[in-house]
Structure 1
Amino acid sequence: MAQSTTPRNTAQTTAQTTAQTTVPTAAQTAAPIAAPTKARIISADCHVNEPPHVFDRVPAEFRDRTPRLMRGEDGGDGWSFDGKPPKRTYGVEAMAGRAKDEHVASGLRFEDILPGNYDGAAHVADMELDGVDVSVVYPANAIFTYQAADRALAQACMLAYNDWILDEFQAADPSRIVGLPMLPVDDGMRAATAELERVLAAGAKAAFLPGNPVRPYHDPYYEELWTAAERNGLPLTYHRTFGGKPQETDWDNVANNNFSAAGTVHRFFSSTRQLTYMTLAGVFERHPGLRMVVGEVNFGWLPFWAQTMDEQFENQHSMGTLQVNSPPSKVLGEQVFVTVLDDRVGFDLVKSGRYPYLAAAAMFSTDYPHSVCLWPNTRKIADELTRGLDETDAERILSGNAARVYGV
């Protein structure tokens, strides 16, 4: 196994990264533009970039095979899951603080990225700078455990990640950070529900599912998981196509460094298949307490999707093909939610007053620290997006919906 680029000892790593981390560009030291809004803001979609010690808690039998942060061929640092140089290095996933003309697809080293990527206290400090009150935090490279062939190792790494995100990152300020532990849904419902119960006891407020599970989420295979989440009042979330093997036709596989503008655009529309099948298969109707959040898909497309589902509900009502008894769009804002960035089309639709479910289903987000993130000007952008919006609708989108679903 090749050596990792940074020490594996937690205390040593923390000391080293604290000492060596510098702000990469002048843009990162610039103060955010002031905005008049004083509304509470919850970012329902932020991310970590895991530190080198994230998998240190795996049992001894796996420690010589755990993923490592390593130097890549382009001189940057990235995660290796097979002992070979990483397929891609830090770039688009760690752009917070860089001006748009300074963005790079890859090539950054660990010391080039903001400490808020991997240190909970630094993350809260960046929230303060941005005017964000609560951050819901998704994983990053740890999601590739869903693709690993060695499932025993993969599960051990997932559990180690879950311990890190809850016991270390979220623990920096549990009132302001909602860490999302990962559920091993591809490894049987016994494993998935057992981990749900374990992380719930450890302080989890929600749990993460892969965007590309081995079995689609309308499969009866998941009934035990939906029941457990509903019984425990634990919201579940998946993030675009994040986690699991991509579809064979999806050339834009970020894991293989096939990153493109086209793929970024496409993934904003990637949730329709999953949500349509789940809704029309009756998953939400059978489990009225189940709440599902879909990350980073925006909401300008929701009216057409809702219209199309309801049309087919009416068209096939007498055919005996339906598994639902109520108009499918009813789930929006009650059980199904989406996170949104600066989706001006979506905000204009809310202002039109024609689609009341939009304000009930949307959760504002900054996507810190990714390339499309709003940091550090979130307050200014939020004020622009909500100008002219009904005060109640603005509050629901900026914080109310996330507060209701995540209990923060």
Structure 2
Amino acid sequence: MPDETPERYTVVSADCHAGADLLDYRPYLPSRHHEAFDAWAAAFVHPFADLLAPEATRNWDSDRRVAELEEDGIVAEVVFPNTVPPFFPSASLSAVQPTAEEFELRWAGLQAHNRWMEDFCSRAPGRRAGTFQILLNDVDAAVAEVRRCHAAGLTGGLVLPGAPPGAPVPELWSSVYEPLWAVCAELGVPVNHHAGSASPVLGEEPAARAVFMVETTWFSHRALWHLAFAGVFHRHPGLKLVLTEQGSGWIPGVLDMLDYYHQRLVGAATRAATAESKFGAGLAELMGEGPRAAWERNCFVGASFMRAHEVLLRDRIGLDKIMWGSDFPHDEGTYPFTIEALRTSFADVPYDEVAAMVGGNAARVYGFDLGALDPIAAKVGPLVADVARPLAEPPVGATSPVFAKGSSVRVW
């Protein structure tokens, strides 16, 4: 006799953000950097209003955070960075890779954040998969930090920086990064690539800001085809790449496009007399199977505030690939209207499929123990019956794109 459907969903957010209050990073820095930190902190002006308002404490107040997430139906989270770490001009996710002159202090600042993240996750055992950050300027140092953070229990994995055109580091397809892929595959460390981390600096003119919004997710998508065409997934079949807060509706079409180019270039390589033959030379040996096979074996999507039109594509994306995220505590996130957001996206979807997308897949990728989380969810998780009811109107005051007009029908 089949098991009965649980009364509530166990929700694991695959995309949340946290960080220390500015001065609280100081103890996590080597003492030789304290004087430089004091000078930097005294002159620093927060670039984001939400890091000044009373709401900012949900970035580092562990008890408040657990309470608010539970009120919103969420029992566990993958934690990405949010506040500005020492010696950075802005949030580390969006900062370009440093110059050689900037490297020492920036690297110390990121390592301080990583050590803070270890302590923050330890305050809610089993309920936070903390991510950790690296820089691409020194691959050996990055590999050592992967090993250290993995041993320290940061199960959220590596946050892979972007390398946009013009950056002072090679693009992600470069063979210089092979030791990084190797150590992540060896240790089973997920490689996360979060939106906003790969865009070039465009400036502050109105057009530049608009272009940034149009292009930022596309620049983040590039990690997929860089690693695929570099043969990274062929050499490391156990490597996990997670593309987070980049949408998901783009995936089927991009996979079609990547497979087209793969087949075209591999085929051209066998016709030496053609102009295209040089573009495909060596590609078959480097990649093995095509990009779609790599997606099916190696890749996942952190589908923040997933919209209804994206849910309709779940079979083409891969039901086992999709990990819903709330983007807490950002104002584009679903808090405090997560149940309404789930109703908007998943009302007509079978229970088993919803359960996989809102919790089961993330538990598998990031190592959460559902046996320990299910009893908590049995008290605070969204009711299955509630999620099954379509939402007629968005709640008043909701700011998440999941509630945007037309989000249920538009395909990006």
TM-score for the superposition, normalised by structure 2: 0.74
CA distance in 1, matches of 2:72, 2:204: 31
Change (3 A) 1:269 1:218: same
Change (3 A) 1:191 1:286: same
Change (3 A) 1:258 1:233: farther
**Structure 2 partner of 1:336:** 299
1:299 shift after superposition? 0.5
**Structure 1 partner of 2:273:** none
**Structure 1 partner of 2:144:** 194
Change (3 A) 1:215 1:333: same
Secondary structure of 2:323's aligned partner? strand
1:252 shift after superposition? 5.7
Give the letter aligned to residue 42 of structure 1. V
Could you tell me which runs of 5 or more consecutive residues in structure 1 were left unpaired when the two chains were aligned. 1-35, 69-79, 95-107
- Tell me which protein shows more helix as a share of its residues: 2
Q: Residue 161 of structure 1: which of 109, 113, 131 is its match?
A: 113
**Structure 2 partner of 1:225:** 180
Over the matched positions of the two proteins, sequence identity in percent amounts to: 26
Matches within 5 A, 1:267-278: 267-278=216-227
Matches within 5 A, 1:257-336: 260=209, 262-320=211-269, 321=280, 322=283, 323-336=286-299
Secondary structure of 2:297's aligned partner? coil
**Structure 2 partner of 1:98:** none
CA displacement, residues 122-154 of structure 1 (integer Å, 9 cap, x when unaligned): 221111111112111111223159436432222
1:209 shift after superposition? 1.8
**Structure 1 partner of 2:129:** 178
Q: Residue 313 of structure 2: which of 349, 371, 378 is its match?
A: 349
Q: Residue 18 of structure 2: which of 20, 45, 48 is its match?
A: 48
**Structure 2 partner of 1:234:** 189
Matches within 5 A, 1:27-38: 38=8
CA distance in 2, matches of 1:184, 1:164: 17
CA displacement, residues 174-206 of structure 1 (integer Å, 9 cap, x when unaligned): 21111111123322x210111111111111111
Give the letter aligned to residue 334 of structure 1. R
Secondary structure of 1:135's aligned partner? strand
Secondary structure of 1:299's aligned partner? coil
1:278 shift after superposition? 1.2
CA distance in 2, matches of 1:134, 1:334: 25
CA distance in 1, matches of 2:218, 2:44: 32
Given that 1:145 and 1:158 are in contact with CA atoms closer than 8 Å, whether structure 2 keeps it comes out as no
Q: Residue 360 of structure 1: which of 306, 320, 338 is its match?
A: 320
CA RMSD of aligned residues (A): 2.6
**Structure 2 partner of 1:247:** 200
Change (3 A) 1:48 1:221: same
CA displacement, residues 237-271 of structure 1 (integer Å, 9 cap, x when unaligned): 1211327xx525x3369xxx999455334323332
Secondary structure of 2:133's aligned partner? coil
Give the letter aligned to residue 34 of structure 2. R
Give the letter aligned to residue 118 of structure 1. W
Secondary structure of 1:138's aligned partner? strand
Given that 2:103 and 2:137 are in contact with CA atoms closer than 8 Å, whether structure 1 keeps it comes out as no
Matches within 5 A, 1:91-170: 91=49, 94=50, 109=52, 111-140=53-82, 141-142=84-85, 143=92, 144=95, 146-147=97-98, 149-167=101-119, 169-170=120-121
CA distance in 1, matches of 2:31, 2:159: 26
Given that 2:193 and 2:223 are in contact with CA atoms closer than 8 Å, whether structure 1 keeps it comes out as no
Number of residue pairs the alignment of both structures matches: 332
TM-score for the superposition, normalised by structure 1: 0.74
CA distance in 2, matches of 1:258, 1:301: 24
CA distance in 2, matches of 1:343, 1:380: 12
Change (3 A) 1:211 1:252: farther
CA distance in 2, matches of 1:124, 1:228: 32
**Structure 2 partner of 1:26:** none
Given that 2:131 and 2:158 are in contact with CA atoms closer than 8 Å, whether structure 1 keeps it comes out as yes
CA distance in 2, matches of 1:251, 1:147: 17
Give the letter aligned to residue 170 of structure 1. C
Change (3 A) 1:62 1:260: same
Give the letter aligned to residue 202 of structure 1. A
Secondary structure of 1:152's aligned partner? helix
